[in-house]
Structure 1
């Protein structure tokens, strides 16, 4: 999907054949990136304007961001200079550190990757307690190199510059046992609030991971999802609501 294309909402449950019916969301064009969590949807456009979806209306948020995320950890974003911000009481509050991408989908902790593809984690206590300058922000560096990183209730998924896929068990204190390689190739990957995993490959094809449970967070395999066009970015929202 080109950056100038309208965002599409997939408003149905996946069928046995993993086919979707796509419906265009009105009054929004030129989206670059979109994220969803806990029933909320946020996005940024090609002018780096952030938005929040209320019903079927996009509400402009203040500031300028190239990446935005929403989830149990709140609403966070990064700008073109990689500066990090948290949305607090209607305003963006600058946070310490530099990241190119971040995700708020974990159990109230934040993960992200910097310009060198180094992954980081911010603990739940630091994330929830952050109100502005002066609040501690002990970013924890993690092993490996990732270009895109997303977390859910059963683990954190990431892809590297070679489109290799990895899974990490990460708790609210950023403790982990390292990365486990997962079969397949994806250029970006996202995890829903219910643990569902979706990804897009370099050809714009969408896949979902089957068999994910708390006892088997790696799942059992990939299924191709038939879509109405080639995609660049996919984001899962709850169990039956996928945003592309």
Structure 2
């Protein structure tokens, strides 16, 4: 028997009973990566076409991207050549540098992972003020080696090539005090605008971090989010969990 695998986007809502109510999103398919922040949702598909959710409609954005992110720092993306772009006035403007993954969820600063798993940060003043090639881009190198990076109001989270999990306090000027190791294993991780943390492990299971507060940004432990299929990527914002099979 021939088996065909489908790339499916699933939207899950946290009900009053604290259980998840999940349903397929039928008006878009073949997604590869998705990111949500500040009430906005962006995604790329397996053909590297970028999209933005406007109301209930997925709008195709110009260009070709393998990774896209949205947050307080705006909308940023990476193409297949690892070139960096910012979405400015309806068009993509190339930014100096090279990254394989970028995140705009921090307090108006952006962070990203380079192809050799080194990581970098761009200050809020440079990020928000970037309009084109004449704008300065003082990238700051960060410690450690990570493959996936995501920030929120209480700190930045990352995973390395061994799926080890770390958290770092990082401010608008890219100043930090280094990484702290967190228990567990995840292959990707995302931080929401409200500080919630979700991730997917190498087996396709989805987890959320419990007990995260401003005074305890590392939280208290992991809880599994039950899914009816194997997932590979996810993001969370405003009570909505978006996951891709």
Which TM-score band (shorter chain)? over 0.9
1:199 Cα deviation from its structure 2 partner: 0.8
* 1:200, distance to aligned residue in structure 2 (A): 0.8
Unaligned runs of 5+ in 2: none
Q: TM-score, normalised by structure 2?
A: 0.95
**d(CA) in 1 for partners of 2:222, 2:152:** 18
**What is aligned with 2:206?**
206
Match of 2:47 in 1: 47
Normalised by the length of structure 1, the TM-score is 0.95
CA distance in 1, matches of 2:34, 2:152: 16
> How many equivalent pairs are there?
240
Whether contact under 8 Å (2:98, 2:114) holds in the other structure is yes
* Separation in structure 2 between the aligned mates of residue 78 and residue 117 of structure 1, nearest angstrom: 15
CA distance in 2, matches of 1:81, 1:133: 18
Q: Distance in 1 between matches of 2:97 and 2:5?
A: 28
Match of 2:72 in 1: 72
Moved more, 162-171 or 24-33: 24-33
Q: Quick one: structure 1 residues 181 and 14, their matched pair in 2 at CA, closer, same or farther if it must change by over 3 Å?
A: farther
Inter-CA distance 3–110: structure 2 relative to 1 (3 Å threshold): farther
Output aligned runs, 1:1-244, within 5 Å.
4-13=6-15, 15-16=17-18, 19-238=19-238, 240-244=239-243
Cα distance, 1:241 vs. partner? Answer: 1.2
| RMSD of Structure 2 on Structure 1 (CA) | 1.3
Contact 1:200 1:234 in 2 (8 A): yes
Contact 1:26 1:56 in 2 (8 A): no
**Closer, same or farther: CA 15–203 of 1 in aligned 2, 3 Å:** farther
Report the CA distance shift for 1:92/1:177 in structure 2 as closer, same or farther (over 3 A). Answer: same
**Hey, which bits of structure 1, 4+ residues long, moved more than 2 A?**
11-16
